[in-house]
Amino acid sequence: MNIPFSPPYINDDIINEVVDSLRSGWITTGPKVKALEAEIKNYSGAQEVLCVNSWTSGAIMMLRWLGLKEGDEVIVPAYTYSATALAVYHAGGTPVMVDTTEDFNISVKGIKKAITSRTKAILPVDIAGFPCDYDEIMNLVKSKEILDLFQPTSEIQAKLGRILVMNDAAHSLGATYANGIKTGSETDVAVFSLHAVKNVTTAEGGAICLNLPEPFDNEVLYTELRQMSLNCQTKDAFSKSKAGGWRYDITGFGMKINMADINAAMGLAQMRIYPQLLNERKRVFNAYDDALNEEPWAIVPPAFVNGKESSYHLYALRIKDISEEQRDLIIDEIAKTGVAVNVHFIPMPMLTFFKEKGFKIEDYPQAYNNYKCEISLPIYPQLTQEQIDYIINAVKSAYKTVIG
């Protein structure tokens, strides 16, 4: 049996939605992008949502909007995909890495220790779809001790009056925080990824959720950022294409990162059935839990803790008391059965680019401990119970072969 790691969910409704875009004669940014933004806004509870062509470009744009200057710092976890920190570099800032806790997410104590007068933003990451401790993080940036440290270097920063919290919600569309608050509405800004392997996909894409406090007007900010995503052009192509609508202006130094309707069509059809898709992911997750909780060597990932519930994006299994080398051998054995698994993530300080910047994995022991024994199992709606049982048996057999 061959089981891929993370194929996209494509049914006839999704195909028909894409075909509808093709037949409409309008395939770049237009009505389907607006419809997708409305769906995500309604689902997440965010005040405004802007769709762009990737999580990375969305994060870069928001950090540029914040007005990062040379020397400005942005706190990120050491345990995440590289885009989290690379976005900071692209926006002109300096990432400051913090270790994680045992639930994979960034340590709030570590954040507090890392804050300086140069800190302008914090980018927590909901690893595998499990939310970070946002009450603690938001309370921290609003505390007198941290407010007294804050030194803005741009008009936007001064207007906010404190450190910005931008949730890297690449994994967590559909996750909930305390009191049922959905991811996307719990921080100043949150950015979802709509990449091909995510719970909802537009092939490539991202969605920026805006929840800035007063005196910001999120509706006005949406309009400004939409222009910024189109090279700060005052009209999008759809508006320009109307009779007599050719004249436009360029009002600033923008980016070209808009999402196209042909991409949005996929996500639009998926968002309409997302509660069902999420339930199917949870079904697979729970089946793994039921089978692996009985194994003394298995550490199952967090899913529902203190009112926080995962989006079930990844099943990040950890295996007790093994080395990185043993983990790799277990993966090799699983691969022999035709089951594709993965590892999320190689901590950034272990990657050449970041090592050359001076980061050392020895400074992030929990990040390394999480990584060295982690194996991500396939989790998606299309998996049958027969396939799930096959995956579980493959994992158990591989462990016995390597560890004994």
Paired residues of 157 in beta bridges: none
Identify any residues that bridge with 49 across adjacent strands, giving them in sequence order.
209
Active-site residue among 198, 282, 308, 372?
A: 198
Which long-range contacts link 280-286 to residues 24+ away (Cβ below 8 Å)?
280/380, 280/381, 281/199, 281/311, 281/312, 281/313, 281/379, 281/380, 281/381, 282/312, 284/312, 284/315, 284/378, 284/379, 284/380, 284/381, 284/383, 284/388, 285/310, 285/312, 285/315, 285/379
Q: How far is CA 129 from CA 10, 42, 66, 124, 161, in A?
A: 21, 19, 26, 12, 30
DSSP label at 100?
A: B
Fill in the amino acid letter for 114.
A
Residue 320 bears catalytic tag: no
Return the CA Rg of the chain: 22
Of 58, 74, 70, 62, give the one whose Cα is nearest residue 111: 74
Residues annotated catalytic, as ranges:
198
